[in-house]
Structure 1
Amino acid sequence: MAKLEGKVALITGAAVGLGEGIAEVYAKYGAKMCMVDLSPEVEKTADRLRKEYGADIITYVGNVADKAQMKEAAAKTAEKFGEISVCCCNAGVCRLAPFEEFTDEMRDFHIDVNIKGVWNTCQAVIPYMLQQGGGNIVIASSVTGDIVADAGEAAYAMTKAALVGLTKCLAVEYATRNIRVNCTQLGYARTPMVEKMAVESNPEDPESAIRDIAVGVPMKRLAKPTEVGELFAFLGSDESSYLTGSQIVIDGGSTLPETMSIGTN
């Protein structure tokens, strides 16, 4: 039996990048899904997964920053599949700028999507999980903000660090009601968001920015979205039944070295 067979997952930011990777792994392991994204391209991604894995999937085009839309997405999921077993709060944004030039609009954009989006999604699914007697929530935080940071990432770092606090609080609040809440802390994966950050960092040669990221990773490469999806699948499955409130770093070891120039290698 596949580890997610019989599970119903709602996945945000599911059209491309990490969300697509998460959805693909969930499809591989037999989950039914509602794939949510702001982009209508989410239906194209869902259609590919239906064809490749025979997955039972519905899609919802909506904005995680809009609480009413997230409640509607959750309602449609429960109506179609009868429950919501797992919620993967993956949708997120990152824009780079010097702090003194960061506009209030850019700051609030990060807050609206990265913090309020996760808040809205959790509030939308938890009533169904309480009604059915439990569930799992997996929140995409980051090593950025809680562990490390780069210049120009003030809004991203602030909002991703906030998700660690939300994870811990929800984990404690719902532990006796059989809802587990954990967060992943990703380093860098090759996604459209990281490619956009590379353009913002080095407009003349964005690929060099990508290569430089890999240089700083002991494994010398960025993650594949499906590798991150495997962690989301573990946390969404019964295999992680005694884990809640956990922060699991998945970064190829990038936060481990004290320096990149000292040592025997």
Structure 2
Amino acid sequence: MAQRKLEGKAALVTGAAAGLGAGIAEVYAKYGAKVCMVDLDPAVEATADHIRELYPDAELVTVTANVADRDAMVAAAKLAHDTFGSLDVACCNAGVCRLAPFEQMSDEMRDFHIDVNIKGVWNTCQAVIPYMLDEGRGAIVIASSVTGDIVADAGEAAYAMTKAALVGLTKCLAVEYADRHIRVNCSQLGYARTPMVEKMAVESNPDNPEAAIDDIAVGVPMKRLARPDEVGELFAFLGSDEASYITGSQIVIDGGSTLPETMSIGTN
């Protein structure tokens, strides 16, 4: 049995219906956390049922809500706290990416990214921090990306801008709440096999999206994309007491994809 390093902790995970969020929620349940799973997609309940099948003792509650709606996130945080008696960890995972040439990117597409990727994290943090302040402790893990802060691809202007903004938010909140025992860190993921990446692959190569995904793996030294549960393990570590002296950090989890200088020079 896995070490129960999140035993007794209550966590809120956004974007929990599929992909990374589902992987995070599953790993949190594995380590004994009580989890409030939030997603705009009602399929979040089916995801919770799947996790209950894997871990029959898992304590889970689901909320269908839009992270861009501040009142909805306040209500979700309250439900988590009232259900579990505490709110110790927030995993701000919900995010979107739509590709378009910059000169063709509409205001609506730009604002869609801002609403979910920036305002969604902002709203989640503002909803959970009052409970953490009352309890005198807490951990927030924000899903940023290597995109924007370290690297970028063409067509990702809105996504890159919003994910880079989360690095700044992470650092500011880490400083602001350090002496009140709330830690704030961010993950910087490369590519994982998720519904979002599969949609990006269709946008990149409509005729053969699998080729687009295969080409991503070619550029990764480990020659594969991440699994959602691998990302969940990082979120679990950062949410646990094992990371008690880590705050304001940007932790890259990309299989080494940001390391190579070129794809053609070298001895391999």
TM-score greater than 0.5 by the shorter chain:
yes
> Of 248, 254, 259, which aligns to 1:256?
259
1:3-82 correspondence runs (5 A): 3-53=5-55, 54-82=57-85
Q: Which residue of 2 aligns with 1:221?
A: 224
Alpha-carbon distance in structure 2 between the residues aligned to 1:48 and 1:200: 30
> Of 167, 170, 184, which aligns to 1:167?
170
Q: Which amino acid is the alignment partner of residue 261 of structure 2?
A: E
How far is the alpha carbon of 1:52 from its aligned partner?
A: 1.4
Q: Which amino acid is the alignment partner of residue 8 of structure 1?
A: A
How far is the alpha carbon of 1:28 from its aligned partner?
A: 0.5
Tell me the alpha carbon deviations over residues 9-37 of structure 1, each in whole angstroms, 9 at most, x when there is no partner.
Answer: 00000000000000110010010010000
State the superposition RMSD in angstroms. Answer: 0.5
Alpha-carbon distance in structure 1 between the residues aligned to 2:259 and 2:171: 23
Alpha-carbon distance in structure 1 between the residues aligned to 2:50 and 2:59: 12
Q: Which residue of 1 aligns with 2:203?
A: 200
Q: Which residue of 2 aligns with 1:110?
A: 113
Residue segments in structure 1 that go unaligned for 5+ positions in a row: none
Tell me the secondary structure at the aligned position of residue 238 of structure 2: helix
Alpha-carbon distance in structure 2 between the residues aligned to 1:133 and 1:47: 32
Tell me the secondary structure at the aligned position of residue 27 of structure 2: helix
Percent identity, please.
80
Q: Does 1:182 align with 2:181?
A: no
Paired positions, count: 265
Q: Which residue of 2 aligns with 1:143?
A: 146
Q: Does 1:92 align with 2:102?
A: no
Q: Which amino acid is the alignment partner of residue 61 of structure 1?
A: T
Alpha-carbon distance in structure 2 between the residues aligned to 1:132 and 1:237: 16
Tell me the secondary structure at the aligned position of residue 143 of structure 2: strand
How far is the alpha carbon of 1:160 from its aligned partner?
A: 0.0
Tell me the alpha carbon deviations over residues 203-256 of structure 1, each in whole angstroms, 9 at most, x when there is no partner.
Answer: 000000000000000000000000000000000000000000000000000000
Tell me the secondary structure at the aligned position of residue 35 of structure 1: strand
Q: Which amino acid is the alignment partner of residue 53 of structure 2?
A: K
Q: Which residue of 1 aligns with 2:136?
A: 133
Alpha-carbon distance in structure 2 between the residues aligned to 1:64 and 1:24: 20
Q: Which amino acid is the alignment partner of residue 203 of structure 1?
A: P
How far is the alpha carbon of 1:51 from its aligned partner?
A: 2.1
Alpha-carbon distance in structure 2 between the residues aligned to 1:49 and 1:195: 23
Tell me the secondary structure at the aligned position of residue 175 of structure 2: helix
How far is the alpha carbon of 1:50 from its aligned partner?
A: 1.5
> Of 225, 231, 235, which aligns to 2:234?
231
Alpha-carbon distance in structure 1 between the residues aligned to 2:111 and 2:79: 29
Alpha-carbon distance in structure 1 between the residues aligned to 2:267 and 2:106: 45
Alpha-carbon distance in structure 1 between the residues aligned to 2:224 and 2:52: 30
How far is the alpha carbon of 1:48 from its aligned partner?
A: 1.2
Q: Which residue of 2 aligns with 1:121?
A: 124
Alpha-carbon distance in structure 1 between the residues aligned to 2:105 and 2:63: 32
Q: Which amino acid is the alignment partner of residue 200 of structure 2?
A: M
Please list every run of at least 4 consecutive aligned residues from structure 1 whose deviation after the TM superposition is greater than 6 angstroms. none
Alpha-carbon distance in structure 2 between the residues aligned to 1:7 and 1:74: 14
